[in-house]
A and B are shown apart, each in its own frame.
Chain A
Amino acid sequence: MDDLYREVIIEHYKNPAYRGHLDPHDYSFEDSNPLCGDHIEITLQISADGAVSDARFDGHGCAISQASADLLIESIIGKPLEDVRHLTKQDVLDLLGIELGPVRLKCALLSLKVLKAGVYGLGEASDSLVE
């Protein structure tokens, strides 16, 4: 359990580097985790060559959901949008460096769900996006 609250997670939760909102932006999407009320909004700016030139997240929630959002945003800046579309659950877990049970997995994957629903232009962030 104590593993879950590794220094890196607490640090990203308390001092996120990428919290904010980009205006103007090319993509924006938000959604909530109905279980715990976690909420994530993500805004992206895309460069002419189709890469993520900048990104931010905003919202509220538990340490796992907010830290994973910060780590995820950090990891996608500079990446081609095509790569972002293909991010998986494992990519997020690798960023966090922890193992999670089914309940907390939802917290960790909320930001990826929101991000992928946004880049795919979907109306709703569904679980199938991160499976």
Chain B
Amino acid sequence: MSLDIEHIRQDFPILKRELRPGVKLVYLDSTATAQKPASVIEAMDSFYRLSNANIHRGVHTLAEESTALYEQAREKIARFINAASPRQVIYTRNTTESLNLVAYTWARANLKPGDLVILTEMEHHSNLVPWHMLAAERGIRLEFIPVAENGLLDLDAYKKLLELGPKLVSFTHMSNVLGTINPAKEIIALAHAAGAVTMLDGAQSVPHFAVDVKALDVDFMAFSAHKMLGPTGIGALYGKTALLEAMPPFLGGGDMIKEVKLRSFRANDLPYKFEAGTPAIAEAVGFGAAVDYLNSVGMDNVAAHEHEITEYALERLEEIPGVKLFGPEAKFKGGVAAFTLDCAHPHDVAQILDGDGVAVRAGHHCAQPLHEKFGIPATSRASFYLYSTKEEVDRLVDGIYKVKKIFS
């Protein structure tokens, strides 16, 4: 079934925006953050207008409503990733905080000097720096699954690394630069066979195709609301119950405790043990509304549409002399097209495209080591979502020809 894109686009108020008179927005930066449907904006607006109160404390009507809405959203998110229980879904600020939570709690409780953590060369800084910090503090060792020239992980090299006895394998499900969708199930199964715990950075996968934590058998998974049509300021960490139960708490404060004495405390049950302080309540409601929206469209439909747009984009970009694309062929790839142009710096490309209303990102996209691997300081990146169209790809291509004209 193909999507009724015109109908979908009607749901996103921002897509109607003219940036300047006669210049319509062409938003090709959904990998950085997705646009929001009216239903998400309205759910948050309605929360503040009708139900706003702090959660888990008061017994008044508003407090009960707020608590119910906050927890219903958690249930929706849990079902969306097929978690066995909503107690396994911990609200965080974003993917970065989810990854850091595991690095601060599970890793500090379980890793000793010399222990090995395996990452990949295509990680976002958020799945590199927490481990650099732990390596400096604890003396853990880091190894990286190499990325081959074709943009895919070298699984033979991975199997060799597993012989070193890693304690954790933490990797991205989908590269935010190359678009590579990694064979998560296989990577996780191999890690488990080697006795390692696994963590998946789902920031780019959960928004774009059906991700089933049970089928993957993953131990931890991090993702953000804002990349999947929801608000900024909220994300989630999924974890297997036994691991979460055994972990020390993360931040200390209200809500994460069962009992506090002057000199001690007892931690609360899951998931509250990891949710200190007043959380992002309206954002949780918006997160739930985003999940409802994606469910109403169907994740398989979202994935199929993005695949079609990506294939078209790669085909059109390849036609342009001087464009070099990064990442694997379309069948291994999500909706991302990172490229360089021989005559102009990515920043200039993005600037000139912006003049025509086309929003792309330029830089190293928080994946500096990956860019170094490919010997380039930066790329321009166009990325797609369920509301992207072939006409928008055409506008991108027209814009690149304009850059070539200015710089030739």
Contact = CB atoms under 8 A, between A and B. Distances in A.
A39 B352 CA distance: 21
B254 interface: no
Given A1-B352, A5-B348, A36 B378 contact: yes
Given A61-B345, A62-B345, A104-B351, A36 B362 contact: yes
Contact of B363 (A10, A37, A60, A104): A37
A36 B354 contact: no
A15 B253 CA distance: 60
A4 B378 contact: no
Contacts of A61: 345, 347, 377
B344 interface: yes
A62 B362 CA distance: 11
Contacts of A14: 407
Contacts of A104: 347, 351
Q: Which of under 10, 10 to 19, 20 to 34, or 35 or more describes the interface residues of A?
A: 10 to 19
Contacts of B377: 36-39, 60-61
B278 to A, nearest CB: 32
Contact of A62 (B348, B355, B368, B406): B348
Contacts of B347: 36, 38, 61-62, 64, 104, 107
Interface in B73-100: none
Interface in A1-57: 1-2, 4-5, 10, 14, 35-39
A10 B407 contact: yes
B406 A37 contact: no
B86 to A, nearest CB: 39
A37 B366 CA distance: 11
A93 interface: no
A104 B350 CA distance: 11
Contacts of A10: 406-407
B364 interface: yes
A63 interface: yes
Contacts of A5: 348, 352, 406
B168 to A, nearest CB: 28
Nearest to A104: B351
Nearest to B356: A1
B378 to A, nearest CB: 5
Interface of B: 344-348, 351-352, 354-355, 362-364, 368, 371, 377-378, 406-407
Interface of A: 1-2, 4-5, 10, 14, 35-39, 60-64, 104, 107
29 contacts: A1-B352, A1-B354, A5-B348, A5-B352, A10-B407, A14-B407, A35-B363, A36-B345, A36-B363, A36-B378, A37-B363, A37-B364, A37-B368, A37-B371, A37-B377, A60-B345, A60-B377, A61-B347, A61-B377, A62-B345, A62-B347, A62-B348, A62-B351, A63-B345, A63-B348, A63-B407, A64-B347, A104-B351, A107-B347
